[in-house]
Structure 1
């Protein structure tokens, strides 16, 4: 159906842009009353920016053909991120171009002084982020007294990012009779509470089908080994060969690493994260939109609101934190009726979380392995045959040069050179292993580490031994992370003085050897090895009972044979007889030194005599001599009548000031005294 009539100038702008019919959210927004508040929930990529741009037109323009002289702004649009705010500014610029509207942007990372000068000159619509808008409002540069409409774009994202206080400040500063439009992908409880507080009789529009996911996005879950995630990203980009791809990571450091890895492989790639300045972020997006870059590696800063043309592939290099994050990341593709693919790289340890995300989002994803090098080469052959260079007819100059070339070279040589030129401009594919379930599913219930024959295992060595405090408790996780295996794939472990040898299942030993071909980040090396023999055992002193080449506990003592039972053995022995004298223990012979020592008189220590305590009496002035139990006074002379010997004297009151030194203590005695 054609666009409903909103405003003649805006209708002409839509026609020039090729908008033939409205999206569901645009049709419902235009069908609502022009003076009502709106609470809209719609999928990402459904045309919400154009929808609220059209919805504001009757409120801002009325019956006028265009805007008058710019002054205090009449509309305020709030977006969560700089990129989304700048994108909204661009969309509203072409939509309101015929009305003579002045649209200003106020975002973080830009020069605030230039923004304040632009606000002083005046504008009709102001688009910005919550923090920068509040800063201009507090400094007096932004005047909200003439505001007729306020739009909150991606309101749920702004609340998640902690902008609730800034939003409340801006909404309370705007006039109470304004029109408030809230647009969000989801409607959590906080959004509904905010709408009930700052909207009047809002019309709720929900175009999201909760039971079915985005129909234009194909979801795939790719099984991958933990140490081959970067290689899987390379093969996915080579397999699909779309004009634009977006790779998501969870941290800034991961974005830097992936960007450097893809640039080394020959991809035209840019990075996008929150630590970049606004100029660099804008330059990265412009390179992706202009075709100068084919891949963008970004954090969740690019997961909301960005409309990138020809974006046909989204790769989640790391599992998103929640369902909303996965849907918003994937929503960058499959926009405006175009098809897209969203791929999640799922290591074995993260498979359960990925399944829960798909289940919560009602998404049926196809579980596959990463594209192999042979599959990518087959795709290259098909794409080369469909390349416009071969399909489109050449001109006369090219045909003449081709004939001259065939006079000197054979057709096979020309075709081979063409293939070589075509392949040289493409990054080479990587050898990636499929972490198929057949490799790690238990063979029996409770069988976590099945026993394998020695012929099914290969030996490897790691240069960590007993001198490095080697222990299987931390060696096994280190080996699993380095080679992308699990503890079920590891067999016997032998720890020696300078190295440790271990077994790896033969079916995955080639992939393990390729993964550990380079040293680990800490310099540790893992390499194939032979089975440990007697010559590789550490040297140690041999026990007397151990023969050369043998090792173990001492042989058991042979049992004594029982005596035969006879009449003589059964008869009782006599108590004493000359043949069986009683056993007598003889005392050892006393030495000459001991005899001389015993002959001497023993040493007698005199008894201890306690000396009587003598204390010199202390005499000072007319004071009598101290008694033996009195402590001598070492400070200033005491006043007359004071001291432990003075039993009389005036009693000190609480307000008489501090007691003089030496005054008798009249409080409670200390514990233990």
Structure 2
């Protein structure tokens, strides 16, 4: 459906921006009967909802000629959870309503509040802001909501998650009762339903969410890695995809700081966004991404909310999201406005079951793929280089003259090789991954060379805790400051795992395990201790010294709170 029923000035602005037809959510809010009602809209991130509510509020803002009257007390209020999203909404409404003569004022945290109060005093048609700053202006008397005709709550679920309920309620209580209220939310948890029931009247529900709830333009992938290989996996994913822009999600500020420094050291053009960065630093980082001076953004969930980067094609969940809704919000940064995107989850071996459960909850079909290898990356580099160099370009006479001089001194093969080398020197080197667990080998007669005299150890995780050599090996290397070559046989039982270390390295291993027991960067809670003799001898000793066996049938194991399948290793006894 074309934008046929819109005022001429809005239709003209949309045409200049390249809008030929509305997206599903835009078409839904333009349907007959929706233009005067309260709305509850469930739409995926990147579906064009900012323009959608900009079009939806037009009947309350424009006069009969499709223009704005002189600015005074605001007619419309749009509330967003973060500075970035509020400023993005403001920019969108500026071009949409620019021809109609709209005056739009932004009120967001991190900006000069006195300047915002001056702007409000000069009058506005639309005010866009974050809950905390709007509440502050309201309480100081700088924000007059008495003439308000329409309120828009953008990403309402995020605002409630971030603790803005009281701010929203105070703002909405100060608005006229006959106002129109539009509520946009990617998800509809119970708190959103209660908010709608209190502040809306006979709201029309609109949902453009797909049945599988996974964004239709996003390809989901998951890779399993040893915990010590997470950074190497990030590097190889960036190198394989070579995205125009990528966001890497971490759970904490410390993780953002560490990964950002690591990527800079490896030669990536990266910026960081977290709660410890000032608004000025955030603005510079986002501008660097928009200008393509940086291609990688390392961010926490909250810091990345509201970011709109048209060139974003890759999202990597370096640290796993807390639940399937957070997974969708993170991933929704890409695959926007009809463009394709890829979201990759980096999954430590022991967390795979939890991730599979999360994907089922989100109804997302993810492809489990291996981490890209150095060989795959080099092959992709070759294809990209050949494609780039064989594209037709206009060559200036000066460049042709320089090329002729080079041809007179060097062979074509040498010139081409130098060009390839120059291209490769700008690319960060791919990472070599550690082996994915011990390789199968023929069982030799007698012990392995170097393991004729060993000491056996036990750790209190087993099959019931998802124990697997693929993550046990890196754990032992970190805790004991040894290499995988120093670890012999590994025997995994139901509730414990036994492994052998050469006797000459055992004392060093024990000392390192004691030193790292309290290190927050290690797998805390897993106890490692030596045993007497071999595993078989230790089992016989336990049977002799332990209580007599119980003859009745054992009760099935029941997980306690937080110990369900996929929740990580269960510690202790």
Q: 1:227 to 1:354 in 2, by over 3 A?
A: same
1:149 aligns with 2:157: no
Aligned to 1:50: 51
Q: Distance in 2 between matches of 1:391 and 1:163?
A: 54
> 1:537-557 deviations in whole A, cap 9, x for unaligned?
xxxxxxxxxxxxxxxxxxxxx
8 Å contact kept, 1:226–1:484: no
Higher RCO (CA-CA < 8 Å; seq separation 6+): 2
Aligned to 2:289: 288
Q: Distance in 2 between matches of 1:453 and 1:159?
A: 65
Aligned to 1:25: 25
8 Å contact kept, 1:44–1:305: no
8 Å contact kept, 2:40–2:203: yes
Unpaired segments of 5 or more residues in structure 1?
Answer: 444-450, 503-518, 523-673
8 Å contact kept, 1:156–1:184: yes
Q: Distance in 2 between matches of 1:40 and 1:492?
A: 60
**Could you say which structure has the higher helix fraction?**
2
Aligned to 2:197: 196
> 1:62-115 deviations in whole A, cap 9, x for unaligned?
424322222211111100111101110111111110011111111111111111
Instruction: Give runs of aligned pairs for residues 345-494 of structure 1, distance below 5 A.
Output: 345-388=346-389, 391-392=392-393, 394-433=395-434, 435=436, 456=448, 478-479=476-477, 491-493=499-501
Q: Distance in 1 between matches of 2:518 and 2:389?
A: 45
Q: 1:228 to 1:179 in 2, by over 3 A?
A: same
Instruction: Give runs of aligned pairs for residues 189-228 of structure 1, distance below 5 A.
Output: 189-211=190-212, 213-228=214-229
Runs of 4+ in structure 1 deviating by more than 4 angstroms, as ranges, are 388-391, 451-461, 470-478, 480-490, 494-498, 519-522
TM-score (norm 1): 0.68
Q: Distance in 2 between matches of 1:41 and 1:434?
A: 45
Aligned-pair RMSD on alpha carbons?
A: 3.2
- The offset of 1:159, in angstroms, is 0.7
8 Å contact kept, 1:171–1:198: yes
Q: Distance in 2 between matches of 1:404 and 1:520?
A: 65
TM-score (norm 2): 0.80
- The offset of 1:214, in angstroms, is 1.8
Q: Distance in 1 between matches of 2:392 and 2:517?
A: 48
8 Å contact kept, 2:315–2:343: yes
8 Å contact kept, 2:63–2:69: no
Q: Distance in 1 between matches of 2:176 and 2:203?
A: 17
Instruction: Give runs of aligned pairs for residues 147-296 of structure 1, distance below 5 A.
Output: 147-211=148-212, 213-296=214-297
Aligned to 2:128: 127
Aligned to 1:318: 319
Aligned to 1:328: 329
Q: 1:402 to 1:192 in 2, by over 3 A?
A: same
Q: Distance in 1 between matches of 2:482 and 2:300?
A: 27
Q: Distance in 2 between matches of 1:123 and 1:59?
A: 14
Unpaired segments of 5 or more residues in structure 2?
Answer: 462-471, 493-497, 511-515, 520-573
Q: Distance in 1 between matches of 2:389 and 2:189?
A: 49
Partner of 2:30, secondary structure, is helix
8 Å contact kept, 2:451–2:502: no
Aligned to 1:605: none
Aligned to 1:13: 13
Q: Distance in 1 between matches of 2:447 and 2:255?
A: 40
Q: Distance in 1 between matches of 2:253 and 2:452?
A: 35
Give the greater-gyration-radius structure (CA): 1
Q: Distance in 2 between matches of 1:143 and 1:300?
A: 33
> 1:207-247 deviations in whole A, cap 9, x for unaligned?
11233522211111012111111111111111011111111
8 Å contact kept, 2:74–2:127: yes
Q: How many matched pairs?
A: 492
8 Å contact kept, 1:76–1:147: yes
Q: Distance in 2 between matches of 1:17 and 1:170?
A: 33
- The offset of 1:488, in angstroms, is 5.3
Q: 1:520 to 1:343 in 2, by over 3 A?
A: farther
Q: 1:471 to 1:172 in 2, by over 3 A?
A: same
